[in-house]
Amino acid sequence: MDVAVGSTNPVKVDAVERTLERYEPTVTAVAVDSGVAEQPWSIAETVTGAETRARRALEVTGASYGVGLEGGVARLEGVSGLSLIMWGAATDGERMERGSGPTLRLPDRVAGRLEDGEELGPVMDDVLGREGIAESDGAAGVLTNGLTDRTRALGEAVACSVGPLLVDQYD
């Protein structure tokens, strides 16, 4: 399985490699523009970013599959507060499939800073007094006390977006 990932973020690449491990993938990471804001603010914008990354990764490499992963934030109907969301998109050049990872409510002090125009990664770094949260356990890992982490959370989005391309039920 030849897979191009529309990001050079090691966590996103690792999520693809781990999730597709049984297919013994050859994974190529490529830097592509998501076409959306650095901090997507809705499901639609987050999904669009993932789709654009998947499409562009496939175009640049000619791999069998292109995968895009995008994290964003959104206010969800029936859920209080601002939520962290994660979406994946996968394409084989003909079909585009999408799938989400977990959703997690953000603490109010983090949400307030995002609403003031800051981005989640730098805010989490500042709140925790660390650097590189987005390239390690991520907000998902920190805010669940390690019950999940960014790699596993994004892996669910990979599974739910790539999976439909690999089974006959969607034909």
Give all strands (DSSP E) within 39-106, no chain letters: 65-74, 83-91, 96-100, 104-105
For 91-112, how does the pLDDT look when each residue is reduced to its tens digit (9 = 90+)?
A: 999 999 999 999 999 999 999 9
Q: Are 57 and 32 in contact (CB under 8 A)?
A: yes
- Stated pTM of the model: 0.90
Nearest to 123 by CA among 112, 168, 61, 158: 112
Which residue is listed with tokens 């002090």?
109
Pairing state between β 26-29 and 65-74: unpaired
pLDDT in tens, 137-156: 788 888 888 888 888 899 99
